Amino acid sequence: MSHIDTTQAANALKRVYGNRLQELFARHTVTINEFRKSNRKATPRVGGSAYYFGVRRNDIEGVGARSEGQYLPEPLEYSPLQGYITPKLLYAVIRLSGLVIEAGKSNIEAFVNILSDATQNAFKSLVVDMNRQCWGDGFGKLGTVTTKGTPATGSTWTVTFNDDMGTRYMRKGMICDFYASGGAIDQSASAVRIDSINPATNVVTFEAVGTDGKNYRSYHPITAAQSYTKAASSIPVSSQLVRYGARDVAYATSDTPVEMVGLLGQYDDGTLLDTFEGINADTYAEWRANIMGNSDVNRNLSIDLMLAAMDMTLARSGKQPDIIRMGLGQRRKYFGLLEGDIRFAPQQIKGGYENLSFSQNGAVRMVVDPYAQPNKMFFEVDGAIKRYELTPIGWGGFDPNKMHWRENYDQTTMFLRTYVNLGTENRRDLTLLDDLTEPSSLPW
C-alpha cells in the first residue's frame, strides 16, 4: 500500500530555522576588559598622536650628614625622562554582495539576518583578537613549530605546534606568516591560512598555498611579500607562526610593534623590546620590569616563589601587588599547592572563572585567562597598566552610518576600527615570575 512519507513530502514542508548559528569554538575576552581606560589625552606631536608622560629616575640627592663647619651636600639634580604611548590601528572588515544582503533579510528563508549577524560577528572577532594581543609583545607570535611541515600548492598541509604554548592563539580562518627562528619571513610560507586545528594533537592544517581565489599574498601588508614565489620549502622546527602582517620582512626587537603591546611587552626588561614607549630599556635600567626567571629552565610553582615576586615588587616600586594574572596551567599548579586547605576556597567572579585570594585577607586578586602566556605569572599593582584609547570601537569611513559601495561591483564593505594600545607609566610596578612548569596535560 502506497503512502506519502517525509522524504516524498520534503519539498512541500516548511523549514523551521533557529534564531542563531551554533559556534563550534570558544571566545576568550577576559583580559581586554580588565584594563581601565586612561583619562590621559592624546597630544599631537611629530609622528602622529600619542600619549606623553614623564618619569623620574631618581630623587634629588643633595642630602647627607656633615660635621659642623663642613660643606653642605652637593645640590645634585634628578634625571627625568619623557615617554609616549602610541595607539595601534586595529580593524575588522566585512564585505557582502547585494544579493546576499537581500536574501538574508528574512527569518523565513535564512538562519539569521545576514547583515546583522556579520556585523555582530565582526565586533566579537575584533574583541577576541584584542584579547589575544593583550598577552603578546606587539609582534604577533602565535606559536612555535615543533614538527616541520612542507607547504603545498595542490592540497592542504600540516604543521605541529606541540609545546607549552600550543595552539591557544590560533583560530580557524586566520591568515598567518611563518618566520625563521632568526627573524626573517619564510617566503614560501607567507600569507597562509589555517584550515583546521586539532587541539588534541596540536596539529594545524593549512589551506593549499596560493591557489586561485585564495592567494592572500596579493594584499599582504608587507609590499615585498606580495610578489613572493609559491615554491614549496620545508618549514623547520623552531620557526614561528605570526599573525598576517604583524612583523616586517626581517624582524628585530628594535622594530616598532604593529599590534597592541601586551603583557609580554609590558613585563619586559629589554629582551623583547629594545625601546618601549620611546625609552630604551638597555640604556635606562630603571625602565625595566622586574623579572624572576630561572635561566630558561622551568621549575615547579611554590608559595615561596610567589612571595618572592610579591617582595620584589614592593622593594623596587614601594607598592604591594594587587593582581596576579595567570593561565589555566598555573591555576592547576596553584590549586595543587592549596589542596585540602579550606582557607583558600575560591570565590566567583564575572566570566565564570575562579578568583583566589593569595593572602589570607584577600588583598591580592588572582585572575585566570585561558589566553595567558604559559610558564608565567604576572604580578601587578592595580592600575599600573591602562588602556590608552584614542578612538573606541566603531565604524570607519567618511560616513560611519553607511555601508561603502565597492566600485564596479554589486558589493558593499564595512569596517570596524579602534585606535588603542595598552601602556604603563611605571614598569617597576610589574613583576614577572617566569620559567614555571606547566601541567603534563594541557587543553591546547
Write out pLDDT tens, residues 336-369: 887 765 454 445 444 444 455 666 455 788 999 9
Output the nine-digit C-alpha cell for 430: 610589574
**70 and 386 in contact (C-beta within 8 Å)?**
no
Please report the pLDDT score of residue 10 as a whole number.
54
- The CATH architecture assigned to 140-250 reads Beta Barrel (2.40)
Please report the pLDDT score of residue 23 as a whole number.
59
What homologous superfamily does CATH list for 263-385+425-433?
A: hypothetical protein PF0899 domain (3.30.2320.10)
How far is it, in rounded angstroms, from Cα 164 to Cα 330? 12
How far is it, in rounded angstroms, from Cα 118 to Cα 104? 11
Give residue-wise pLDDT tens across range 20-45.
555 555 667 778 888 888 887 777 65
pTM: 0.85
How far is it, in rounded angstroms, from Cα 34 to Cα 223? 36
How far is it, in rounded angstroms, from Cα 262 to Cα 280? 17
How far is it, in rounded angstroms, from Cα 293 to Cα 8? 69
Q: Which three-class secondary structure state does DSSP give residue 351?
A: helix
Average pLDDT over residues 150-157: 89
- pLDDT confidence bin for 97, thresholds 50/70/90: confident
140-250 and 263-385+425-433 share one fold: no
User: Residue 254 pLDDT more than 60?
Assistant: yes
Question: Mean pLDDT score of the chain, rounded to an integer?
Answer: 83
Cβ neighbour number for residue 102 with a 10 Å cutoff: 11
Give the up-direction half-sphere exposure of residue 145: CA atoms within 13 A in the CB hemisphere. 23
Please report the pLDDT score of residue 45 as a whole number.
59
Residues 6+ away with beta carbon under 8 Å from 152: 208, 209, 232
Compute, in degrees rounded to 10, the torsion defined by CA atoms 324, 31, 391, 407. Answer: 150
Give residue-wise pLDDT tens across range 61-91.
777 787 788 777 777 666 777 888 899 999 8
How far is it, in rounded angstroms, from Cα 394 to Cα 281? 35
Task: Pick the closest to residue 247 from 166, 297, 296, 184 (CA basis).
Answer: 184
Q: How many helices (H) and strands (E) does the chain have?
A: 5, 22
Query: Phi/psi zone of residue 383: left (φ > 0), alpha (ψ -120 to 50 degrees), beta?
Result: left
Share of the chain above pLDDT 70, in %: 79
How far is it, in rounded angstroms, from Cα 211 to Cα 153? 6
- pLDDT confidence bin for 12, thresholds 50/70/90: low
What sign does the dihedral 303-308-309-314 (CA atoms) show? positive
How does DSSP classify residue 356?
A: -
- The label of the residue with cell 628585530 reads 252
- pLDDT confidence bin for 165, thresholds 50/70/90: very high
- Indicate the pairing of strand 141-144 with strand 240-243: antiparallel
Query: Phi/psi zone of residue 270: left (φ > 0), alpha (ψ -120 to 50 degrees), beta?
Result: left
What sign does the dihedral 280-286-287-289 (CA atoms) show? positive
Please report the pLDDT score of residue 4 as a whole number.
52
Domain residue ranges of the chain, discontinuous segments joined by +? 140-250, 263-385+425-433
Q: Provide the b/e sequence for 124-154 (b: ≥16 CB within 10 Å).
A: ebbbbbbbbbbbbbbbbbbbbbbeebebbee
Cβ neighbour number for residue 178 with a 10 Å cutoff: 24
